[in-house]
Amino acid sequence: MNDGIKIVITHQDNKGLIGVQSPDCDPILHTFEGDLEAGLGRVPGIVGEARQLWETNPQFPKCETPLPSQAAPAQAPGRTAKPAAANRTQPMF
């Protein structure tokens, strides 16, 4: 794991998000409520937590299952689309 980290903080309307990222590691995101100073006080703990997590699991496992087909789904046996009912009203004119 590379020691370089990137910390991003967004804050608006007394709510914020702290993101921590390191090369070849998945980012860690935390939300907080309060002023910016409250969020800044949480940064060292979040960075420490991220580094501990990255020591054992730097990245989430990649999905190895095949992606679902993008083709239209097959109709279940015995369930065919019924034609629209014929208009049985008589024209008035």
* 20-53 confidence digits (pLDDT tens): 999 989 999 999 999 999 999 999 999 999 999 9
| Residue 65, pLDDT score | 84
**Residue 4 confidence (pLDDT) above 80:** yes
Does residue 87 fall inside a structural domain? no
Q: Is-above-0.75 flag for pTM?
A: no
Does residue 69 fall inside a structural domain? no
- Closest residue by Cα to residue 7 from 23, 19, 22: 19
What does the alpha-carbon distance between residue 51 and residue 20 come to, in Å, rounded to a whole number? 10
What does the alpha-carbon distance between residue 29 and residue 40 come to, in Å, rounded to a whole number? 14
**Residue 66 confidence (pLDDT) above 70:** yes
* Domain count along the chain: 1
| Residue 62, pLDDT score | 75
Does residue 12 fall inside a structural domain? yes
What does the alpha-carbon distance between residue 21 and residue 53 come to, in Å, rounded to a whole number? 12
Q: What is the mean pLDDT of the chain?
A: 83
- Closest residue by Cα to residue 32 from 43, 23, 24: 43
Which residue segment(s) compose the domain that 15 sits in? 6-56
